[in-house]
Structure 1
Amino acid sequence: MIDFSNIKQFTTPRPDKPSVFGTAAEFDALPETHKAQIWFLDTTAAKFLNEFIDHTCLLSDGGWAPFSYKNYKIIEEFEHAVDLHENIPLLKKWMYSRSIPFSNYVFVLTDSNEQPLLMTWKMAIKYAFDLFISGDTLIFDPTINWAVYNYHEGKLFFAKDNIYDPSGMELYVQELNERKKKYPQFRHPYL
């Protein structure tokens, strides 16, 4: 069974097809110290991460409002126009100022058909241009106490101080189940 403690067991060699790092040859040309901090995750890990995101309500409204104040105390925005190389130092400086330790492992998921990645926060900053140029990108760590979302129209969002409480949804589902018992003709939206 997969979880965050053993997710590194669900990695694959770098793909032969292009990735966010370019062609396979371009990835191979990266410094060994960088490649040692980047893992491509397999389909089992991808399924696990996508289900985790759904169950934790990590993303809420998509695009222009990916995080909800019901889930996070603080949501910061950064308009960056990632497609301009001269903005990359500003973007990296902004990411660095989030005060996340370089050695923290983070997950990177894009809206393209890319494999999800596991890498250190240091590599996420180093390769921010490559990660964000491909489209909508979500970066988070297993604590989900913070998350970064790049919206492809030039906005970056950083949410921190997770306050999501799943018990509210559990109470709602219990109420629906009680209503179903009391009124059998009631159409339960989750059944």
Structure 2
Amino acid sequence: MNKFIVGACAGILSVAASQYATAQTTSTAKPAAKKKAPAKKKAAKKAAPVAAVQPEGVQWKCELGNELYIKGDMARDQIITMHWKGKNYQLPRQLTRTGADRYFDQKTGMDLVVIPSKSMLFDRNEGHRLADECQTAEMAAGAPAPTQAGALRAPAGLPLMMQDNAAPAPAPAPDASGSAAQPAKP
């Protein structure tokens, strides 16, 4: 049994040694060919200009001079197109518990969160915020974000931020006996 194991080990070592010797002789003969090929590839890459994707949609200006473009109806569409740093991203709508609109693509990690006053862009793959305080021109003038959550909650004709929550409730109407009706207890 021991002779078998020793013979197997010797066979494996001899095969490995022969492959190493073959690799040594072929690697010394081809270094000049390998050096020339990458130089040609680099020259070819420099000659071909990279065409940037033209932004489409509504411009959102962010802090630090960043900007993104959103194409699609945020109040209705389930997938919007976001243009960021020369690339277009397809972002599907996600359900949230907070009422904010969230568009997140698992593959690219792009995560756009929109609240009535601003939007924020995150890269979930890298784990950091890419842009903050993003607003359209209308939002900068005081209008709420054009989102589904905002459209569902806002009364007709009043933007979200313009609601008067401090107005007193109307007085209860008198009942048939002439006395004021008692408000229902919670």
User: Which protein, 1 or 2, shows the higher relative CO under an 8 Å CA cutoff with sep ≥ 6?
Assistant: 1
TM-score range for the pair, normalised by the shorter chain length = under 0.3
Question: What TM-score, normalized by structure 2, do the two folds share?
Answer: 0.22
Question: What TM-score, normalized by structure 1, do the two folds share?
Answer: 0.22
Indicate the structure (1 or 2) with the bigger Cα radius of gyration.
2
